[in-house]
Structure 1
Amino acid sequence: MRSIKNSFPSEEDHNLLREADAKHLLHPWADLSTLGEQNTLMIQNAKGVYVYDSTGKKYLDAIGGMWCVTLGYGHEELIEAMAEQAKTMAYYTPFGDVSSSPSAQLAQMLAELTPGDLNRAHFTTCGSTAVDSAVRTAHYYYACQGRASKRHVLSRRNAYHGSTYLAASLCGKLADRTLFQYESDFIHHLSSPEYDPDIAEESADSRLQSLLDEMESEIARLGAENVACFIAEPILASGGVLVPPPGYQAATREICRKHDILYISDEVVTGFGRLGHFFASETHFGIVPDMIISAKGITSGYQPLGVVMISDRICETMSAHAPVDKSVFSNGYTYSGHPIACATAIKNIEIMKRDKICEHVQEVGPYFIDKLRSLVDSPIVYTVRGDHLMACVECWTGNETGPTARNMALAQRVDEYCEQNGLLVRPYENLCIMSPPLIVEKSDIDRIISIFSQALNRAQSDLDSGRLD
């Protein structure tokens, strides 16, 4: 196939691209039942909050790529930072006693942004590898103190933590558990902690207490002396933007502290401005965890990069107690602290501070959620939930709740009508998930609501007339 360099290829080249995609690509989360037959949407160009397919059609990207394109597409300063670092030094090994100025500078910047004593950065390649590294750090921390039995990990149902073997095993989304193998010996899933006051049949206090009782019970069953860590997204993102009851994060943090269990806050989605703060753990939820995981928005999606921010206490303990013959921290990746990725993250942080991106999210985020909540008047909207610029609209046929076949078909129809009218949302089961770039303006939000409302009306008409079946 010849190289296609034009922004928008000819019709012939457009067809060739789709043929090549269908024949040679295995996409993440691909439907294998249609392998080789998929009618792929080929995104060819992007600017600001908009993307364009290979025919030139324009879409408002209400999912920010995949939670990650925070500063929007085509940001010249980010592009220049990438290019300048590539000209200076594209790559050198990060292993052992070798480093680069971008990774050292970024580590210091992150230490200044994270709460408490989370002052040590361990760079990885993405959120999944950062999750792996955080859990492995917890295991090393206890093993070097002679407590290797403290290895069990608590996660939650509906959680998403990545797709490496360990990270996928930590995930609690049943829909993602197919025919792969998953670790079950030392990983345990607590109940999904969501609480939606609009549809709840119990009080927030009652829900919170039952979740805490369950956590205490599971720790007692396993033995606190055997539990290494608890990993938690402050808000469960890919699981459906599930918001726990007020006080959940602080209460689970206290349980972990009481039982000497490390608390790992997975801020791959909630960090870097999505909730109006660089990190949401302390400022939004009132906790200082033992480790924070970040990725996605750390580079605004322009480069793959992940990081585990680790407390000084953990690092100093590992340094002091590791046996001489086992003192190597044998975890890391060829591209850990990649100079171009770190240079991009540095520029991303500088722009966010200068342009007051977090303050902008604090202004437009409540507006976004308020406008979305107006959609609950639709008969096919079961509920709307979210926080600032992460939100979910849950669809239903009116007779059954949850991801039933008809509810999922209805949500898929909503997604299709949104796409037809130039809006991209993320369909998952019977949910329509949205996480627009952080630079989104109120006028963009109004456009999102207008198109989404039209899609709901069309899908409802299909349901009422029997065209959904």
Structure 2
Amino acid sequence: MTATTPATQRHDGHSAQEYDPQALWQKDKDHFIHPFTDFSVFKEQGCDLITDSDGIYVQDAHGNRFIDGIAGLWCVNVGHGRREIGEAMAEQATRMAYFSTFNNLSNVPATLLADKLAELAPAHLNHVFYSCGGSAANDATIRLVHYYFNRLGKPAKKRILSRNNAYHGTTYLAATLTGIASNNWEFDTLDHLVTHLSEANCYRRPEGMSETEYCDHLVGEFEATIAEIGADNIAAFIAEPIMGAGGVLVAPKGYHQRMQAVCRANDILYIADEVVTGFGRLGHFFASEAVFDTQPDIINCAKGLSSGYAPLGATLISDELYEVLSTPQGPGGVLSTGFTYSGHPVSCAAALKNIEIIEREGICENVREVGPYLEERLRSLSHHATVGDVRGSHFMMCLENVADKETKALLPVEARVGDRVAFEAQKRGLIIRPVGHLNIVSPPLIWTRDVVDEVVAILDASLSATTESLRADGFL
């Protein structure tokens, strides 16, 4: 990993730690199985080690400094190195790091956070079930949904409708909800529980179809799927307000409202996976109601909930569902699900301080002000030969790279175009995320217009260099 801005001093006054980069690289390669490892290159190249972070920057073991263009992984919303979050966690850890929340036990941070989430969420979502991250939140949600319908005497309502290219996690059931085919190559999934609908991909909608007609088409497919399976066999529909890892896909206008209306008409629960969109990424604490005018029965969140400072997930449940879930099955009956670390006090303390910072510093307002500028500036990159589409909203953006803009044909997989763009950006001091032929920009929510200008200049040069290398290698 190379960059043009080496650093040995953090902005917060801490000296950067010194490491033996080669020894760390070897230990990491020998022992750490990374999520989503590309073993075609890992065994030779290993990983770049990030050792320090500060604000919008991260630093590697060689002292090179980079603008963080992915917020860790969609999650460091308030930026890196927030001392007051660390202090809140330390204070809670020394007061009481952990105690069970099972049965009749609780703790102060978990209680205060549940109250705060009920305040921030749409008015009918007043109950919180804690987990340790987004995958676990989605997994736990489906278990609760099945239990809910069992309690109502509707045990046949088990099927969950998801979407192609949706991302809902990698635990066993969450991986089945996930509709990205490559995520589950050679992995088993619980296919009898999940049916996938078409993604809402406006860029690749059928030729000649207007956005309104495309929305009609998708809703019609939903209704036809319900008719085929039978509404009595379907428990819920789960959807990201904007699809994240599947390509930052923004559905046609009115899509979510209409899908929710179909759910309501068929006694199907509507679940919003706001693991990415929650806590400011689209300019609001929750996007479902504020941006898309929907009122989900359940909202799942994680990532920005604690800005990644501690693992934490939460399922926000409506009053109507809670009334059923909270009714004992009979004498001695309990809601027999949960996790050892449900409502972990240190994680909840981090989340409370994180939310305080978002509110105090007007970070949602910053996203609403700077986000449209980021969209505009990124779209200026459309002049590059390989940039077929620039899409997204606010601080959740994607560049789709193609071989031909007219036909939207993709480059061959072996061109590794997303990796090339990310590599060129990294050389110039910016980390973005490659996902196949896509490049995702999902930064900390504290970027300013000046930072946006710097980032777009780096991407401009990186895309030019990528085009040259693709031509030199015979891919263009």
TM-score of the pair, normalised by structure 1:
0.95
Q: Is the 8 A contact 2:134 2:168 kept in 1?
A: yes
- 1:9 is matched with 18
1:64 aligns with one of 65, 68, 71 = 71
Q: Is the 8 A contact 2:411 2:475 kept in 1?
A: no
Matches within 5 A, 1:120-159: 120-159=127-166
- 2:3 is matched with none
Instruction: Say whether 1:386 aligns with 2:395.
Output: no
Write the letter of the residue equivalent to 2:404.
G
Deviation by residue 1:244-266 (Cα, 9 ceiling, x = unmatched):
00000100000000001110000
Runs of 5+ consecutive residues of structure 2 not aligned to the other structure: 1-13
Write the letter of the residue equivalent to 2:222.
M
Distance 2:29 2:379 in 1: 38
Q: Is the 8 A contact 1:397 1:406 kept in 2?
A: no
Instruction: Say whether 1:375 aligns with 2:381.
Output: yes
Distance 2:356 2:389 in 1: 37
Instruction: Say whether 1:97 aligns with 2:95.
Output: no
1:38, distance to aligned residue in structure 2 (A): 3.1
- 2:428 is matched with 421
Distance 2:413 2:263 in 1: 41
Q: Cα 1:396–1:101, aligned 2, differ >3 Å: closer, same or farther?
A: same
Instruction: Say whether 1:20 aligns with 2:27.
Output: yes
1:238 aligns with one of 229, 241, 245 = 245
Q: Cα 1:83–1:67, aligned 2, differ >3 Å: closer, same or farther?
A: same
Matches within 5 A, 1:435-450: 435-450=442-457
Write the letter of the residue equivalent to 2:126.
N
Q: Cα 1:462–1:38, aligned 2, differ >3 Å: closer, same or farther?
A: closer
Q: Cα 1:189–1:85, aligned 2, differ >3 Å: closer, same or farther?
A: same
Superposition RMSD in Å:
1.9
- 1:41 is matched with 48
Write the letter of the residue equivalent to 1:126.
G
Runs (4+) of structure 1 exceeding 4 A deviation are 197-200
Q: State the aligned residue count.
A: 462
Instruction: Say whether 1:117 aligns with 2:132.
Output: no
1:6, distance to aligned residue in structure 2 (A): 8.0
Matches within 5 A, 1:204-243: 204-243=211-250
- 1:350 is matched with 356
TM-score of the pair, normalised by structure 2:
0.94
1:196, distance to aligned residue in structure 2 (A): 3.4
Q: Cα 1:324–1:403, aligned 2, differ >3 Å: closer, same or farther?
A: farther
Runs of 5+ consecutive residues of structure 1 not aligned to the other structure: none
Distance 1:430 1:363 in 2: 29
Q: Cα 1:59–1:201, aligned 2, differ >3 Å: closer, same or farther?
A: farther
Percent identity over the alignment is 43
1:466, distance to aligned residue in structure 2 (A): 3.4
Q: Is the 8 A contact 1:123 1:305 kept in 2?
A: yes
Secondary structure of 2:271's partner?
strand
Write the letter of the residue equivalent to 2:31.
H
- 1:327 is matched with 333
1:59, distance to aligned residue in structure 2 (A): 0.5
Q: Cα 1:83–1:402, aligned 2, differ >3 Å: closer, same or farther?
A: farther
Secondary structure of 1:121's partner?
strand
Distance 1:247 1:23 in 2: 50
Tell me whether 402-411 or 200-209 shows the greater mean CA deviation. 402-411
Distance 2:28 2:366 in 1: 38
1:116, distance to aligned residue in structure 2 (A): 2.7
2:299 aligns with one of 271, 292, 305 = 292
Deviation by residue 1:246-290 (Cα, 9 ceiling, x = unmatched):
000100000000001110000000010000000000000001100
Q: Is the 8 A contact 1:268 1:293 kept in 2?
A: yes
Instruction: Say whether 1:202 aligns with 2:218.
Output: no
Q: Is the 8 A contact 1:270 1:279 kept in 2?
A: yes
Q: Is the 8 A contact 2:28 2:46 kept in 1?
A: no
